[in-house]
Amino acid sequence: MPELPEVEVLRRQLRRALGDARLADMRIYERRLRFPLSEGFADTALTRDRRGTPRLEDIRRRGKYLLFHLSGGRVLLCHLGMSGQLLLEDSSQLEPRRHCHEHLAFLFRRRDRRGGSRTRTVRLGFRDTRRFGFWDIARADELSEHPRLRGLGMEPFDAGFGGSFLVGAFAGRRVSVKSALLDQRIVAGVGNIYASEALFRARISPMVCAGDLTARRCGRLAAGIVSVLEDAIAAGGSTRRDYVHSDGGGGYFQHRWSVYGREGEPCPGCRCRLAETGGIQKSLQSGRSTFYCPARQRR
DNA sequence: AATTAAACCTGGCGGC
DNA sequence: TGCCGCCAGGTTTAAT
């Protein structure tokens, strides 16, 4: 799925394209997502305020969630799951796109860039082959208490995130550090790809117990998380199979993965030592694959 | 309480 | 070629 960098790239694209558009209309083609779409989703989303249809005030991100803030204090929450996509088109057609697992479509109207009173209609389609993604609607003033957001941990780009935060968060934890990184209640937004990549950058074995990490290693890990997420955002995210940008294009960071998906390849940090190190290894940790270099990433 | 496994879905790939 | 099992960027729920 899209992890933090992919969601962030999408957020920036959508905000640029939609600006302060108004949500003019929407359709639901499939309610059975990872969690069934709530009864009043469309009606609540489309409720007009004094000036007309709801205005898009901002698009924010929390962990892997996209948050569409609408006027009138409503927020649309979107999680892309494993295969969710949000695609923009210049179109005013709400008919579903066939044979592409489109489940929702929104029409936004915004002022034409050339100014004047002309408006432009933009269609935003939500596609999700596996239907692990989901949407919900919440009141803005209750957003932090929403069941799906309430338990989320620290944002990696928050000022408070760093080695000492990880020391505290990992204290007493007997799970592996790799599993701890996937726990959204600790750090929000890191998924299976960037967990492996961050551990590689920090030169830490994914099998180490989170609670056993020294402060020094927690500092390296925090730096590795931030740097890999920043680099991935700058490269437009990673496109492996399902993730695409809002224009259908893809990111480039998959070409810069050091370990993920590179089983048997030479470690980029131990060049020319393939025979000694055995190259990148793959293992399973609580059902998810982990990639690492056993020579460079010590216990 | 803490960890792990199963469940939710569809599609693509390698092996036979 | 066709069928089958396995795997895939996630989260929640049930079971150990």
Ranges of each domain in chain A: 4-145, 163-292
Taking residues A73-100, report their average pLDDT.
Answer: 96
What pLDDT does residue A276 have?
81
Which CATH code fits A163-292? 1.10.8.50
pLDDT, mean over chain A: 95
Rounded to an integer, what distance in angstroms lies between the CA atom of residue A133 and that of residue A104?
Answer: 12
A58 CA, B16 C1': Å apart: 54
Find out if CATH 3.20.190.10 is the number for domain A4-145.
Answer: yes
Q: Is the CB of A163 under 7 A from strand C?
A: no
A2 CA, C9 C1': Å apart: 5
In this chain, the answer to whether the domains covering A4-145 and A163-292 adopt an identical fold is: no
Strand C nucleotides within 7 Å of a protein CB? 7-12
Q: In a 3-state reduction of DSSP, which class is residue A180?
A: helix
A185 is catalytic: no
A3 is catalytic: yes
Q: How confident is the model at residue A49 (pLDDT cuts 50, 70, 90)?
A: confident
What pLDDT does residue A112 have?
84
A16 is catalytic: no
Rounded to an integer, what distance in angstroms lies between the CA atom of residue A241 and that of residue A221?
Answer: 28
Q: Do A131 and A33 form a contact (C-beta atoms < 8 A)? A: yes
Q: Return the residue matching tokens 């927690």.
A: A218
